[in-house]
Structure 1
Amino acid sequence: MIDIQKLKEIMANNLKKQLNRKGISQTMMARDLNIPEMTVSNWVKGKTYPRPDKIQLMADYFGITRTQLTEEAPSNLTPLAPQTVPIPVLGTIACGEPILAEENVTEYIYESPDQLPSGNLFYLKAKGTSMEPTIPDGSYVLVREQPEVENGAIAAVLVNGDTEATLKRIKRQGDMVILMPDNPNYSPFIITRDNPARIIGQAIQFTQKL
């Protein structure tokens, strides 16, 4: 006899594991897959079980097989060391070039794919102290390429005629968008027609080299 509750628990555990592996939230996955957030929440809590088409949709989203969501993983297996992938570090942006064009890359940082969120990723090196204490000067900030971020999130933003990428917190007041530094010693930057700026991604995390 099939234990439906056990299947729900296995699905819930595997789904949480994949969300953590990719570094994304339930809300982000729901938005990316166009699934109601409450539906995803019920799957993660083990309250309901997804339909086969939704299981396949999530498997494709995570880049895994369906069984990695539906079956209990053996506990006696030793995981192999994953291959690393190169994440580009952007420097000065060449006018008219795609953000991740080779001309814009100064170096690469190699990361384990198991520790990375989904999407097109790049690093920016924080310059200056405008985002301290949140982001220290010289930190390497991992950014996921996307044209919009939620209010209050830290974004990578192109300024100075799309030639310089900076990190600032996005604040919206009506139709006005403000680039806010976390350091109170710096002034906000209000995006206007005379002071244009363009969001190119959301800051995910930062690291520092010794």
Structure 2
Amino acid sequence: MARGELTPYELKIREDISRNINELISTRNVTQVDIHNHTGIPRSTLTGYVKGTSTPNAGNIQKLADFFNVPKSAIDPRYESKIVNMMQVKEMASVPIIGDIACGDPITAEENIQGYREEVADTLPTGNLFYLHCKGNSMAPTIPNGAYVLIRQQPDVEDGEIAAVLVNGDTEATLKRVKRQGSLVMLMPDNQSYDPYVVTPDNPARILGKALKMSADL
């Protein structure tokens, strides 16, 4: 699967949400401006939901459901009430996948987001979370090429932990193991075929967050 490409399931969910919102707009005789004024959701973001080019996060699903006075399942079919082995379907959360990073922008700025991965909300750790899509084999076999790595945004990690780090003038996020020797900081690949990245004033780096878990699409 290409970087940032959605799965067929994710595409189907996005299409269903778009169709549901359009039907509600038509039957309730409202406009996107009306929705924006009531919910505070940016108009450009609403346009993405209406056109099916982006997927609402859990918070915006709730705002849309409140605006139309419908259950969340009337917006997003993942919230339909189903009984599976006598257990309620868990509420899902959309975690952004970060792509290329615009210099100076916050890491989760909308222009940096390539898509979302759905996670069971109550299994996620606290904090500001995002996914990085691993490219290359520098962290293999720990993190294979194409894996998605969940990151909790924080300014530092313990020695030896894997971190998402900004390099190349704050425009590229890489996954490396942070090692410290006195005042020297090195970003170490787990694959010994790759060279360490030594942090210097001429070769700076900035930690974005700690790697928490990895997942991959088959």
TM range (shorter): 0.5 to 0.7
Identity of aligned residues (%): 59
Counterparts of 1:123 and 1:188, CA distance in 2: 23
Counterparts of 2:122 and 2:88, CA distance in 1: 11
RMSD of the TM alignment (CA)? 0.8
What is the TM-score of this pair, normalised by structure 2? 0.60
1:202 corresponds in structure 2 to: 210
2:200 corresponds in structure 1 to: 192
Tell me the amino acid that sits aligned with residue 133 of structure 2. Answer: K
Question: What SS does the corresponding residue of 1:114 show, helix, strand or coil?
Answer: helix
Return the match for 2:168 from 160, 168, 188.
160
Return the match for 2:190 from 182, 195, 200.
182
Structure 2 gap segments, 5+ residues each:
1-85
Structure 1 gap segments, 5+ residues each:
1-77
2:149 corresponds in structure 1 to: 141
Counterparts of 1:156 and 1:98, CA distance in 2: 14
Counterparts of 2:117 and 2:170, CA distance in 1: 24
Tell me the amino acid that sits aligned with residue 148 of structure 2. Answer: Y
Tell me the amino acid that sits aligned with residue 121 of structure 1. Answer: L
Counterparts of 1:101 and 1:184, CA distance in 2: 34
Aligned residues: 133
Return the match for 2:121 from 110, 113, 134.
113
Counterparts of 2:182 and 2:160, CA distance in 1: 14
1:144-202 Cα deviation digits (max 9, x unpaired): 00000000000000000000000000000011110000000000001000000000000
Alignment of 1:1-210 (within 5 A): 79-210=87-218
Counterparts of 1:202 and 1:92, CA distance in 2: 18
Tell me the amino acid that sits aligned with residue 193 of structure 1. Answer: P
